[in-house]
Amino acid sequence: MQKIMNVSTESLIAKVDKLLEEEMIVGYTVKGEPLTKKEYNLRLEKAEQQIASGDFITQEDLEKEVEGW
């Protein structure tokens, strides 16, 4: 920590800041596991790809499925 405090190079400070921001916990899974910003964004990208490829269930279809439980 002392070394970081003594660094005056802006580019290095910016890199450290970016790293810390990416590793910051921004949410939790349904199982209570922490999600970093990087992991959250990866999951979001995956979800967007699934939607684009039609790999999803509509609210209406889900409600019909739940009725049969």
Three-class DSSP category at 62: helix
pLDDT at 47: 96
- Closest alpha carbon to 20 in 7, 4, 3, 9: 4
* Nearest of 36, 13, 6 to residue 23 by alpha carbon: 36
Q: What whole-number distance in Å separates Cα of residue 12 and Cα of residue 22?
A: 15
What are 11-23's pLDDT values in tens digits? 777 887 777 777 8
Mind listing the pLDDT tens digit for each residue in 15-60? 877 777 778 888 999 999 999 988 999 999 999 999 999 999 999 9
Q: 65: how many CB neighbours lie within 10 A of its CB? A: 10
For residues 4-12, average pLDDT: 72
Q: What is the pLDDT of residue 12?
A: 78
Domain boundaries, the chain: 25-69
